[in-house]
A = this chain, B = another copy of it.
Amino acid sequence: MGELENLISIHDLDRKTIDHILDTAAKMETVAVKRTKDLDSKIMAVLFFEPSTRTRLSFESAMLRLGGSVLGFAEAGVSSAGGKGETLADTIRTVERYADIIVIRHPLDGSAKVAAEFSSIPVINAGSGSEEHPTQALLDLYSIRKMKGKIDGLSISLCGDLKYGRTVHSLGMGLCHYDVKIKLAAPQSLRMKPAIIKHMEKAGVDVIEVESVEEAVKDVDVIYTTRIQKERFPDAREYEKVKDRFRITSDDLDLMQEDTIILHPLPRMDELDSDIDNTPHAKYFDQVYNGVILRMAILKLILD
């Protein structure tokens, strides 16, 4: 098989491996446009126990551009695992007979790891529980490197729901391998878990915490903002207050450096005003395309 065996957690990757993945992604830029038949004979199974159009279609687009084909399901209801109570282990030991690689999205923490333990074919974690979303972290790193030319030396704001957002957890872990300054901007109730902050500091990252968007957007090269979900708040009024305070609008543009870029894992709601879309700061839709590129690299490294 390929150079990578599985992709389950950002924690499994050292800097050398991450850099190699990002270098491979850079080589995929032309392949993504021209298309290839390199994975012509390969079948990718997408097992989405939790719906996610974006991530699923991104993986499918990556596989199709490499010439491969796709089977699977887009929501648990259509599968035995949903309707008939089959264990994840049994589902995996079944699906591994249908495909050459499994891409799994599952609501439970640790599910992708379990899948990899039972699978004789490679497994990619496309989001598990609230902890892990390694391909999102890698595409975020790739976006930063592509757009800013480097990651080392940058100052990066992580903004919004830092408590429950799995993308921001995985990205935070990935950034620990680089010489960066991180500003954490979240409402009191949605602050980054102390364990992750400690991990960052131990890795030598310069971390500060702030509590407003104004502070978040100042003096940074990258603003990475995430959705604040209403269902996380016990009190609806508390949500309304927070929501309005953690909203980036065109009013905040003056506070930013001229070359600050704004990233967002999408979908976005109110936290990122559409006024910003047509400014040179807005890079979140280009980031979507980088997801295809990065996933092509992962598929290539695992399957080729």
Contacts and interface: CB of A to CB of B under 8 A. Distances in A.
Contacts of A267: 80-81, 84-86, 90
Contacts of A35: 40-41
A57 interface: yes
A298 B267 CA distance: 31
Contacts of A74: 73, 78
B51 A90 contact: no
B94 A285 contact: yes
A81 B53 CA distance: 9
Q: How many copies does the complex hold?
A: 3
Interface stretch (A64-72, A146-154, A172-180, A204-212): A64-72
A253 interface: no
A155 interface: no
A77 interface: yes
A301 interface: no
Contacts of A91: 53
A269 B91 CA distance: 12
Given A85-B267, A97-B285, A69 B64 contact: yes
A147 to B, nearest CB: 15
Contact of A71 (B45, B61, B266, B291): B61
A61 B95 CA distance: 10
A189 to B, nearest CB: 21
A98 B292 contact: yes
B57 A45 contact: yes
A98 B61 contact: yes
A274 B90 CA distance: 10
Contacts of A79: 51, 53
A288 interface: yes
A98 B41 contact: no
Contacts of A145: none
Contacts of A302: none
B60 A93 contact: no
10 contacts: A34-B41, A51-B78, A53-B81, A57-B71, A61-B97, A75-B78, A86-B268, A90-B267, A93-B288, A98-B292
Given A52-B80, A57-B72, 15 more contacts: A43-B61, A51-B78, A53-B80, A57-B71, A58-B98, A61-B71, A61-B98, A64-B69, A84-B269, A85-B269, A89-B274, A93-B288, A94-B266, A94-B285, A97-B289
